[in-house]
Amino acid sequence: MTPAVSFKQVSRHFGSVRAVDAVDLDIGAGEFFAMLGPSGSGKTTCLRLIAGFEQPTSGRIEIFGERAEGVPPYRRNVNTVFQDYALFPHLNVLDNVAYGLMVKGIGKAERHREAETALELVKLPGYGARRPSQLSGGQRQRVALARALVNRPKVLLLDEPLGALDLKLRENMQEELKSLQKSLGITFVFVTHDQGEALSMANRIAVFDHGRIMQVGSPEDIYQRPNSRFVADFVGSSNVLPPDFVARHGGARRWASLRPEAVRIVDGEAGASGARGLEATVVSHSYLGGTTRLGLDVEGQRINALLPAGQPLPAEGQPVRVGFAPSDLHLMEEGG
C-alpha cells in the first residue's frame, strides 16, 4: 500500500543549521502518527515540509505516492491545525470554517451548510455567527479543527494542537481527536513535545533529536524498548544506566534503561524475585498524586523510583534496599 507520507533522505538546512537532516520516514494511510521531540529537534520543520510551508534542501517527499517538492501549500490536499489556531480575526466562525471551500469556489449556501456540519462534528453547532475573539481557547481549537476537516484532507497535520489548553481540556481533546481520527479514517500527523500525549494518542511515534529520527515504533516499542539513551531519557524520564553499572548487576557491558516504576523498595529479608536488593539512600521525594517519585542514590548512581500511592515511604536520607527484575533492565543498541 502507498504510504500517506513518505520522506526519502529529506534534509532542510537553514544556513548552517540542519533543522532536518537526511530523514527517512513512511507514514501509513489512516495512521495516527506522532512526531515527538524536544524543541528544535526538527519535528515541526518536518510537519511544515509536509504542509509545503518549507521546501526540502534535498531529498524527496511523496504524499500518497505523488511528488510534493516544489508544490505550493495551496495545491496540496493536506490541511493544518496550527499551534495558535491562526483563525481569521475578521471573519466569523462559520466563514472561518468555510474559508477553504470559499476559495475553491463553492457557493455560499453549500459551503455554509458544510461548515455547519463540520462545526457539529467538533461539537460547536450554532457557534457560526460568533467571532473567534469571543471563543475560549478550547473552542478556538475546535474551530481550527473544523476548518481543516471541512476540506476532507488526505492528511491532517496538527502542530502542538493541545499545547495551549489546560490539563482537563487537553485530556478531553485527546480522546476526541482519537475517536475522530478513527471514525474519519484520515491520516493524522501530529507534532508534540509531550511524551504522554504522544504515547496515549498515536499508533506510531517517531522520536526526533537534532534533525534526525532516533527511533520509530509503536508507543510500547518506544516506551519499553528504547534504542538509545536519548529516547530512554526523553520518553518517560527513564533511568539511563552506564555500562559499568549494568555489568555489575547482571547485564552485558552496555548502556541500559530502567523504568522508574520497575524499581521497588524491598525488605532485606524478603529478597523478592531472588534479588536481595541493593543498598540505596533516599535523596529526594516528589509527591505526584497517584504516585510518588523517589530519588535514590545507588552506589553513586542516581536512580528514580516511582512508587504507587499508599505504600509506606522512607524518609529523605534514610538507607533502604531497592530491587528490580533483571528482565526490566533494557539493554540499548548503542555501545558505551
Q: Which of 90, 97, 91, 95 is nearest to 122 (CA)?
A: 97
C-alpha torsion angle, residues 20, 25, 27, 33 (rounded to 10): -50
Q: How far is the CB of 114 from other proteins (least distance, A)?
A: 13
Q: Please give the Cα distance from 209 to 38 (Å, whole number).
A: 7
Rule CB under 8 A: is residue 167 a binding residue for other proteins?
Answer: no
By beta-carbon proximity to other proteins, the closer residue of 14 and 53 is: 53
* CA angle, 78 then 79 then 85, to 5°: 160
Alpha-carbon distances of 291 from 235, 260, 264, rounded to whole Å: 18, 11, 13
Rg (CA), the chain: 24
Rule CB under 8 A: is residue 14 a binding residue for other proteins?
Answer: no
- Per 3-state DSSP, the chain is made up of helix, strand and coil in percentages (nearest 5) of 30, 30, 40
Rule CB under 8 A: is residue 324 a binding residue for other proteins?
Answer: no
Cell numbers that stand for 73 in this block: 501549500
By beta-carbon proximity to other proteins, the closer residue of 17 and 325 is: 17
By beta-carbon proximity to other proteins, the closer residue of 90 and 168 is: 90
Rule CB under 8 A: is residue 29 a binding residue for other proteins?
Answer: no
Interface with other proteins (CB under 8 A), residue total 24
By beta-carbon proximity to other proteins, the closer residue of 116 and 209 is: 116
Residues 53-112 that bind other proteins (CB under 8 A): 53, 72-74, 78-80, 82, 84, 86-90, 99-100, 102-104
Part of the chain binding other proteins (CB under 8 A), chosen from 15-23, 50-58, 108-116, 163-171? 50-58
Residues 101-140 that bind other proteins (CB under 8 A): 102-104
In sequence order, which ranges of 104-150 are alpha helices (DSSP H)? 108-121, 137-149
Rule CB under 8 A: is residue 267 a binding residue for other proteins?
Answer: no
By beta-carbon proximity to other proteins, the closer residue of 135 and 148 is: 148
By beta-carbon proximity to other proteins, the closer residue of 150 and 305 is: 150
Q: How far is the CB of 192 from other proteins (least distance, A)?
A: 18
For residues 51 and 73, is the Cβ–Cβ distance under 8 A? yes
By beta-carbon proximity to other proteins, the closer residue of 68 and 148 is: 148
Q: Which of 222, 268, 256, 234 is nearest to 329 (CA)?
A: 256
By beta-carbon proximity to other proteins, the closer residue of 156 and 202 is: 156
For residues 159 and 101, is the Cβ–Cβ distance under 8 A? no
Rule CB under 8 A: is residue 181 a binding residue for other proteins?
Answer: no
Rule CB under 8 A: is residue 187 a binding residue for other proteins?
Answer: no
Part of the chain binding other proteins (CB under 8 A), chosen from 48-56, 57-65, 185-193, 231-239? 48-56
Rule CB under 8 A: is residue 147 a binding residue for other proteins?
Answer: yes
* 271 conformational bin, left if phi > 0, alpha if psi -120 to 50, beta if neither: left
Which residues have CB under 8 Å from 154's CB, separation 6+?
4, 63, 64, 77, 78, 186, 187
Q: What is the contact surface with other proteins in residues (CB under 8 A)?
A: 51-53, 72-74, 78-80, 82, 84, 86-90, 99-100, 102-104, 147-148, 151
